[in-house]
Homo-oligomer: A and B are copies of this chain.
Amino acid sequence: MITALAGGVGASKFLDGLCRIIPPEELTIIVNTGDDIHMFGLYIAPDLDIVTYTLAGIVNPTMGWGIDGDTFNCIDSLVAYTGGERWFNLGDRDLATHIYRTQLLNEGRTLSEVADLIRRSHGVAARILPMTDAHTPTTIVSDEGDLHFQEYLVRRRAQPKVMGLRFENIGSAKPAPGVAEAIRQAEAIIVCPSNPLISIGPILAVPGMRDLLKQTSARVGAISPIVGGASLKGPSDRMLADLGMEVSARQVAELYSDFIDIFILDLQDAELTFEIEKIVSEVVCTDTVMSDGEKRTALARATLAALM
């Protein structure tokens, strides 16, 4: 049994590769829900959906999110009603997921129950768990004031200067059912190449999570999302810099150094190996840029080889 900690697009590419080399039913994915947001009265869980759609083989391959070939008719009309700007794209097929999830949540089902129904409905064999059933939205404290992470990322295109992060309600959140067991009982744990601050960060901030990772007997490996001093996708690099941190794979390793055994970084960053070996017991250099399906599989293979 393998357990992965995942954000959205980068993680999903890696997990897609992983599911091609292991029986997917042996994989449990703990997904960030700090990006979750209520829009138009619907509960939207971007990372859960990205992981589910990717493993279901229906994700829009260009964007890395949403459903391939989806239309955008409903959102246009919704925006017309509400008189706002259309800063968040919700496809018509994708909306079915949000409507279905919202209905079940309003009927009293938990987010983890709903995530399970949705991934099964899409024929995804890997287990997909939200990090918590609580709603713990990530607030970006910025020079434009407090912004929901989606507002910061999507509406404001990560332009505001990040001064801090707040994971709302995280203090009272519990790991979702199955999360603790998945960490305790795993043979290997993988921290996917996701934004360490706002994808993996919220997962680690759920009370008890970091201790579970420190205490598990499984080996824990993390893959750097920072390559050559920049993030492959998303605002990790800018956020690290804004918060006064080094924009490097070494910085990512440092953020995880209390619970990881292995750090996997790109060949481009090979010269950092020596520095990272001071804080993580094993460092693996490999090609981490998943520019095609084969490279996804290769990275998954290299990661497993290091862990098992």
Kindly state the interface size class of chain A when it binds its partner: 20 to 34
- A77 touching B96, Cβ below 8 Å: yes
* Residue A244 lies at the interface, judged by CB distance under 8 Å to chain B: no
A residues 52-105 near B (Cβ < 8 Å) are 70-71, 73-78, 80-82, 91-93, 95-97, 99-100, 102-103
Instruction: Find chain B residues with CB under 8 A from A76 CB.
Output: 93, 96
Bound: A96/B73 CA distance, A: 9
Name A81's contact: one of B82, B91, B96 (CB within 8 Å): B96
- A41 touching B102, Cβ below 8 Å: yes
Shortest Cβ distance from A119 into chain B, in angstroms?
A: 11
Instruction: Find chain B residues with CB under 8 A from A77 CB.
Output: 92-93, 95-97
Q: How many copies of the polypeptide does the oligomer hold?
A: 2
Instruction: Find chain B residues with CB under 8 A from A70 CB.
Output: 73
Question: Looking at chain A's contact residues, is the secondary structure mostly helix, strand, loop, or mixed?
Answer: helix
Instruction: Find chain B residues with CB under 8 A from A172 CB.
Output: none
Bound: A91/B76 CA distance, A: 13
Instruction: Find chain B residues with CB under 8 A from A41 CB.
Output: 99, 102-103, 106-107
* Residue A4 lies at the interface, judged by CB distance under 8 Å to chain B: no
- B81 touching A93, Cβ below 8 Å: no
Instruction: Find chain B residues with CB under 8 A from A73 CB.
Output: 70-71, 73, 91-93
Interface residues of A (CB under 8 A from B): 40-42, 70-71, 73-78, 80-82, 91-93, 95-97, 99-100, 102-103, 106-107, 117-118, 121
Query: Could you jot down 11 A-B contacts, CB within 8 Å?
Result: A70-B73, A71-B73, A73-B73, A74-B96, A76-B93, A76-B96, A77-B96, A78-B96, A80-B96, A81-B117, A81-B118
